[in-house]
Structure 1
């Protein structure tokens, strides 16, 4: 019995080791990319498995076996690696985005430069329309970016017109419809298809009460997942395209939505290095938004990133709306003086090469709109 138990634990550790090393690969297959997500879960499973192994072997043998020491060393390495990756998103880590200090601003005008954004994947099949509407109303948001909007959701959005008179709605029945609802004026807007013809993004210029304009973008790239055998090619390429474009824009920028990617993944970190935007989660917590129904399988999938023009008034996860995602609310303060105080992720020498690799892979994929993928032509080797 002890032998069978030990074989089971050794097998489990084999899986944990594979899952820990898999994200080091750039391969886009969903089985590889999926291991980017459960770093917290891997740490918990590793600790429990180690305690069980040491406890059972100590009871049966009267003292810890040599194998217990080996397992402890391996467990320390596994847990340490994942804790290293998720540490920046814990409350004990330093914040990347500065908390707004009202002392440093003119109190009479600060509210005119405030921007409250609610990001919500409503889940297309969700029929708790009133529940979602109530949370939206109570949030007092200036803008809502809603993903998975289909025709059934249009009457609900219409009901919100007194609160959000400016609406951009692109319903679809493929889980990728989008809507942008705003009580602030939208001076320009465009529905864009960065990588795939059925995956829209909404790109808009929004005017604050101060008269200043900010660029707000809603995104929802297709995830790597086994049910439809999707890999990460399209998602990674879309993040690269946005990262490169936003890096060249010096206006105040906010981009948010269900990225179908976790904050600590290589793809999201590459996007942040390319775009030079800030992640308000760093130093503030995970704010896990998915899955709302399964506490053991929760990940930070719904994101808001912003340029250095903003400080953070508030960041929080809102109540259940009947969806498999919780909404995320961020309260931003436009305060350009912070540009010199906030540090984005440091760019790496290999970022451009990695970005081109992701774009090249997308350009070679049959299901992707290759005309939208700018790639650097490969130069044939000489000799």
Structure 2
């Protein structure tokens, strides 16, 4: 019995080693890129499996001590490798985005430059319209970016017009419809298709009560996943395109949505280095937004990134809205003085080469229906 158990543990560790090393490859296949996601799960599995292996073999005196030591060392190495990536997204690390200090500014004046955003993937099949609407009303946010909007959701959004009179809605029945609902005036807007002609983004200029304008972008790139045999080519290229464009825009910027990518993945970190935006999760927690119904399979997929013009008042994961995603709420304070105090991720010498590789892969992909030129990423959309 213990022999069979040991074989299973050896096989399990073989899988864990492969899964730990796979993300080092830049190959876009979903089976490779999918290993970016479960780093927390791999740490827990490795530790539990090692403890079980040692305990069983100590009781039965089956495996030699060297086997127990080897498995323990291997588990420690695997856990250490993944913790290196995920620790920055815990309270054990320093925050990247500064927490706004009310003492530095008059609260009444500051409230005019406050921006509260809710990012929510409603799940297209979700029919709990009232439950979702109640959460949105209770949050008292300035703007909602909603993904997976189809025609069934339009009446629900229409009912919210008394709260959010400014609405941009692009419904689709392919899980990539999108809406931007705002109580603040939207001065300019554009629905953009960066990579594929059925994957929209919403790009808008929004006016705060202070009169300051901020650029707000809603995104939802297609994920790498096995059901439709999608690889990560489109998602990675879209993140690169946005990263390059936003790096050339010195205005206050907030970009959010379901990125179908975890905070610690190479693709998301490359986007942050290219764009020089900040990740408010760093130093604050995972804020796992998916899957809402399965505790064991939760990852931080819904993101909000912002420029150094903002400080963070609050960041929350909200409750269940019937979707497979939890909504994410961020409360930001426009405070340009912070621009000199906050540090984005340091750029790497290899970033430009890596970015061009991802763009070229998209150009050559037969799965991407929309032709585009990487040069077009350098043309600002609005303003």
Same fold (TM over 0.5): yes
Say whether the 8 Å CA contact 1:131–1:322 is kept in structure 2.
Answer: yes
Query: Alpha-carbon deviation of 1:371?
Result: 3.3
Taking the aligned partners of 2:233 and 2:146, their CA distance within structure 1 comes to 23
**Structure 1 segments (4+ residues) deviating >2 Å:** 369-373
Matching of residues 223-302 of structure 1 within 5 Å: 223-302=223-302
For 2:379, the equivalent position in structure 1 comes to none
Does the 8 Å contact 1:54/1:64 carry over to 2? no
CA RMSD of aligned residues (A): 1.1
Check the 8 A contact 1:142/1:182 in 2, yes or no. yes
In the alignment, what sits opposite 2:313? 313
- Alpha-carbon shift at residue 64 of structure 1 (Å): 6.1
In 1, the alpha carbon distance for the partners of 2:173 and 2:186 equals 26
State the partner residue of 2:381.
none
Tell me how far 1:367 sits from its aligned partner: 2.8
Deviation track 1:121-147 (CA, whole Å, cap 9, x = no partner) reads 000000000000000000111000000
Gap regions ≥5 residues in structure 2: 377-383
Match of 1:34 in 2: 34
What residue in structure 1 maps to residue 107 of structure 2?
107
| Matching residue of 1:152 | 152
Which residues in structure 2 correspond to 1:1-383 (within 5 Å)? 1-61=1-61, 65-369=65-369, 371-374=371-374
Q: Could you report, residue by residue, the CA deviation over 1:90-131 in whole angstroms, capped at 9, with x for unpaired residues?
A: 011100000000111132310000000000000000000000
Q: Is the 8 A contact 1:195 1:373 kept in 2?
A: no
State the aligned residue count: 376
Residues 323-375 of structure 1 deviation map (CA, whole Å, 9 limit, x = unaligned):
00000000000000000110000000000000000000000012325532316
Residues 296-320 of structure 1 show CA distances to partners (whole Å, capped at 9, x for unaligned) of 0000000000000000000000010
Paired with 2:372 and 2:254, the residues of 1 have a C-alpha distance of: 23
**Aligned partner of residue 162 in structure 2, secondary structure:** coil
Q: Distance in 2 between matches of 1:158 and 1:19?
A: 45
Q: State the TM-score, normalized to the length of structure 1.
A: 0.97
Output the TM-score relative to the length of structure 2.
0.97
Give the distance between the partners of 1:62 and 1:304, measured in 2 at CA.
Answer: 51
